[in-house]
Homo-oligomer: A and B are copies of this chain.
């Protein structure tokens, strides 16, 4: 595409680096900012810069946090004996939104993926092992809530192996037909897992 201005081209190229944003969407967003008063652009960029500069992570669970210890880890109402292992911070938000989980989290920060050069040492797995191994922690269960992909499964197996020597139950979230989903539109692997992982009715 021929942009009418170098400034526009630079801005579009930067915005289009964001995930899920193509050049066309980037152009629409950039032209929107151009039409709006300069203050709006300043508010946006200031919020992003401040976020990136000041963002901190919980030293216990590695979730995003304003304090050294995040509000979930610090809460007296959470069950510290159950740790749910997730890949990213937005997984914590997703599970929190269900209101079904009262334990605490551990954000490993991704999955083992040799193709992308991500090994176990790039993830927060060692710190999970330390949390579990600490006698004062009294962790009873570690729930693995990782992506149902090859990389996610590899990561799950790796964590499982690492935790084998500790007296902790390692579980995985259920895979199956989504609630409201129809059998005929469910892929074979999911349907297969939903059968092998069937539960007692009622």
Taking Cβ atoms with an 8 Å cutoff, the residues of A that contact B are 1-8, 10-11, 13-15, 17-21, 25, 27-35, 38, 40-56, 63-66, 70-72, 88-90, 92-93, 96-97
* Neighbouring B residues of A66 by C-beta, 8 Å: 5-7
List the 5 shortest-distance A-B pairs measured between CB atoms, nearest first: A45-B45, A41-B52, A14-B47, A11-B51, A7-B51
Shortest Cβ distance from residue A130 to the other chain B in the assembled complex, whole angstroms: 22
* Neighbouring B residues of A40 by C-beta, 8 Å: 17
- The one of B4, B32, B53, B63 in contact with A93, judged by C-beta atoms closer than 8 angstroms, is B4
Nearest residue, chain B, Cβ from A34: B55
- Count of chain copies: 2
* Neighbouring B residues of A27 by C-beta, 8 Å: 90, 93
A51 touches B33 (CB 8 A): yes
5 A-B residue pairs with CB within 8 Å: A1-B93, A17-B44, A20-B28, A20-B29, A30-B51
* Neighbouring B residues of A17 by C-beta, 8 Å: 40, 44
- Assess A15 versus B30: contact at CB under 8 Å? Given A4-B65, A51-B7: no
Nearest residue, chain B, Cβ from A38: B52
* Neighbouring B residues of A50 by C-beta, 8 Å: 7, 10-11
B48 touches A11 (CB 8 A): yes
- Assess A19 versus B30: contact at CB under 8 Å? Given A1-B93, A51-B11: no
Nearest residue, chain B, Cβ from A29: B18
CA of A13 to CA of B51, assembled, Å: 12
A64 touches B18 (CB 8 A): no
CA of A56 to CA of B92, assembled, Å: 44
* Neighbouring B residues of A14 by C-beta, 8 Å: 43-44, 47-48
